[in-house]
Amino acid sequence: RVTTLAPHRWQMAPYACQRRTPLLHSNQPLTEALETLAEEAGFSGSEGRSLAFTRAASVLKALPGRLSTLEELGPLPGIGEHSRRVIQDVLEDGVCAEVERVKLSERYQTMKLFTKIFGVGVRTASRWYQEGLRTLVDLQERGTKLTRQQQAGLRHYDDLNTPVERGEAESISRAVQGAVQRCLPGTSVTLAGGFRRGKPHGHDVDLLLTHPEAGREAGLLSRVVSWLDSQDLILYQHSQENSYALQEGPEPPGGRDVMDRFERCFSIFRLEVQGGPGAARGWKAVRVDLVVAPISQFPFALLGWTGSRHFERELRRFASHERKMVLNSHALYDSRRNLFLPAVSEEEIFQHLGLEYVPPAQRNT
């Protein structure tokens, strides 16, 4: 009996928040190529194009095995013409000429150099590029106007672009734990961001603070930061007060990613180190984000601050398009029934959304 095997086709749910995406996957060369194009599109202000490449990469990260031919992709959701061409090039030749061109281009390299400065976004970097600036030395020599944040970013450029190891993140977490115990005993400190997803290193340390008694957390952050500062642990910080009021109602659905309104602090810590790049000095600069959430909003804050960014974006898109709900880092609002849906855990938020729970280690989209 002769059987003709139909070519294997992968199945995949359309939203990244419906999929399990582990940290390690089998299609690294493909996702790297697509993410380079996503980054380049972002540098050009083409958000839509950037998102298309990010979506395609996200689909490949969730595949259970290595893609060997374009045919296997079949009609997988979210992979457009352009991305398919890139995938085909990499599968056939190991590289994609378009991607290699981008990586070598002066504009891409300069934009990367500048956006790696803490406090410099695409717009500022792009303006500097237009003005003919190309190096970090150019910024200094031509007397470019810098914010206090950018000055700190430039001063600690090398340290801040050296990956933060998990051990370093844990050590910073302990230092903050010590500070909050002095300022408000009972406060919990949770490591969120990439480390919570199981990444072995990251670009910063994201810490979420809350207290089991509602209201006690108000004003906590400034006391914690003052104490850490008095211990010479802080090289730079700027804080922002809580500006969220539930009675204002949720952000409109489909609105663009607005930053949440928790009491928060963007900082640079001075971390004592034994080895690594800062060993001679004995310390290293590390970016730390501190966020304070009232206990009732904590599960939403934890979900929102665990990432990945694309996972968060997809969760919000799913909530709005499939459920007519508005999700942010503070709350979940049901627009059909006109009510907020409270939750005491991340699991409960997934339940409200009618989504299967995705643990943090599977949110690496």
Query: Does the protein bind ligand CTP through residue 360 (CB under 6 A)?
Result: no
Residue 307 C-beta: closest distance to ligand CTP, Å: 3
Q: Is 234 helix (H, G, I), strand (E, B) or coil?
A: strand
What are the φ and ψ backbone dihedral angles of 166, each rounded to 5 degrees? Answer: -55, -40
What type of residue sits at position 32? Answer: E
Query: Does the protein bind Mn ion through residue 204 (CB under 5 A)?
Result: yes
Residue numbers 251-270 binding ligand CTP by CB under 6 A: 259-260
Question: Judged by CB, which is closer to ligand CTP: 168, or 206?
Answer: 206
Query: Does the protein bind ligand CTP through residue 194 (CB under 6 A)?
Result: yes
How many residues can be counted in the chain? 365
Widest distance between CA atoms in the chain: 81
Whole-number Å distance between alpha carbons of 326 and 249: 10
Letters for 65-94 (x = contact with Mn ion by CB under 5 A, - = none) are: -----------------x------------
Query: Which partner in ligand CTP, Mn ion, none is near 82 (CB below 5 to 8 A by kind)?
Result: Mn ion
Q: 308-314 contacts: CB < 8 A, separation 24 or more?
A: 308/194, 308/197, 308/363, 308/364, 308/365, 310/16, 310/54, 310/55, 310/58, 310/365, 311/16, 311/17, 311/21, 311/358, 311/363, 311/364, 311/365, 313/257, 314/15, 314/16, 314/17, 314/58, 314/365
Question: Is 204 assigned a catalytic role?
Answer: yes
Residue 31 C-beta: closest distance to Mn ion, Å: 18
Residue 172 C-beta: closest distance to ligand CTP, Å: 13
Return the sign of the alpha-carbon dihedral for residues 220, 225, 230, 232.
Answer: positive
Question: Is 206 assigned a catalytic role?
Answer: yes
Query: Which partner in ligand CTP, Mn ion, none is near 278 (CB below 5 to 8 A by kind)?
Result: none
Query: Does the protein bind Mn ion through residue 193 (CB under 5 A)?
Result: yes
Segment contacting Mn ion by CB under 5 A, of 17-25, 67-75, 193-201, 268-276 = 193-201
Residue 36 tokens, joined: 């380079």
Query: Which partner in ligand CTP, Mn ion, none is near 307 (CB below 5 to 8 A by kind)?
Result: ligand CTP
Whole-number Å distance between alpha carbons of 112 and 276: 24
Q: Is 116 helix (H, G, I), strand (E, B) or coil?
A: coil
Whole-number Å distance between alpha carbons of 125 and 111: 6
**Which of 39, 159, 204, 251 is in the footprint of ligand CTP by CB under 6 A?**
204
Question: Judged by CB, which is closer to ligand CTP: 294, or 304?
Answer: 304
Asked if 83 and 52 touch (Cβ cutoff 8 Å), the reply is yes
Residue 266 tokens, joined: 């963007």
Residue numbers 289-318 binding Mn ion by CB under 5 A: 289
Q: Which residues of 327-353 are buried (b: 16+ CB within 10 A; e: fewer)?
A: bbbbbbbbeeeeebbebeebeebbebb
Query: Which partner in ligand CTP, Mn ion, none is near 329 (CB below 5 to 8 A by kind)?
Result: ligand CTP
Q: Residue 333 pairs with which residues in a beta bridge?
A: 326, 340
Residue 287 C-beta: closest distance to ligand CTP, Å: 8
Residue 289 C-beta: closest distance to Mn ion, Å: 4
Query: Does the protein bind ligand CTP through residue 168 (CB under 6 A)?
Result: no
For residue 129, which of 151, 101, 106, 154 has the smallest C-alpha distance? 106
Residue numbers 295-334 binding ligand CTP by CB under 6 A: 304-305, 307-309, 312, 329
Question: Judged by CB, which is closer to Mn ion: 82, or 84?
Answer: 82
Catalytic residue among 138, 204, 232, 257: 204
Question: Is 334 assigned a catalytic role?
Answer: no
Catalytic residue among 159, 206, 232, 334: 206
**Which of 16, 42, 56, 193 is in the footprint of ligand CTP by CB under 6 A?**
193
Catalytic residues: 204, 206, 289
Please report, as ranges, the residues that interact with ligand CTP according to CB under 6 A.
193-194, 199, 202-204, 206, 259-260, 304-305, 307-309, 312, 329
Please report, as ranges, the residues that interact with Mn ion according to CB under 5 A.
82, 193-194, 202, 204, 206, 289
